[in-house]
Amino acid sequence: MTDRYADGMAVRRRVLGDAHVDRAEAAKTAFDDPFQTMITESAWGTVWAGDAITLRERSMLTLALLAATGNFEEIPMHIRATARTGASRNDIAEAFQHVAIYAGVPRANHALKLAKQTFAEMDAEEASQ
């Protein structure tokens, strides 16, 4: 295991939570292990582990980029991560407003829909605890 992998796994757990990472690791196979290693080292061990900007800012950038590029399937996961990165619901709404202006209203609208659904699920989970 490389230092970048170990650093990446630590950041990944900090941002996404142990339960999410444990599920992802349990689902990993020999087929996707090289890909998962690359993501852990590159995305989490390099980009997310950097100290130039905060995890809050990284969350906002990630959500805006996911929405702007139409990669909607990862938005709920990153919305959930904001509970650990410090990005507020208002921060996310502001990020999606930027998406509307610079990448298109339909993408921002769909991202907001996903965020609202995910926040409702998070609120229900919190209320049931």
Q: What is the pLDDT of residue 123?
A: 97
Length of the chain (residues)? 129
Q: Are residues 64 and 18 in the same domain?
A: no
d(CA 3, CA 75): 28
- Same domain, yes or no: 45 and 59: no
Cα angle 48, 96, 123 (rounded to 5 degrees) comes to: 80
In terms of domains, do 100 and 78 share one? yes
Determine the Cα–Cα distance for residues 38 and 22; give it in Å rounded to an integer.
17
**Is there a single domain that holds both residue 61 and residue 79?**
yes
- 75 and 124 inside one domain: yes
pLDDT tens profile 41-84: 999 999 999 999 999 999 999 999 999 999 999 999 999 999 99
What per-residue confidence (pLDDT) applies to 1? Answer: 73
Q: Do residues 87 and 118 both lie within one domain?
A: yes
Domain with residue 80: its CATH number is 1.20.1290.10
Indicate if 94 and 59 belong to the same structural domain: yes
pTM of the model: 0.94
pLDDT for the residue 120? 98
Same-domain status, 32 and 75 = no
Q: Using alpha carbons only, give the angle 8, 36, 32 rounded to the nearest 5 degrees.
A: 170
- Count up the domains in the chain and report the number: 2
Within this chain, do residues 37 and 84 fall inside the same structural domain, yes or no? Answer: no
The residue segments making up the domain with residue 3 are 1-52
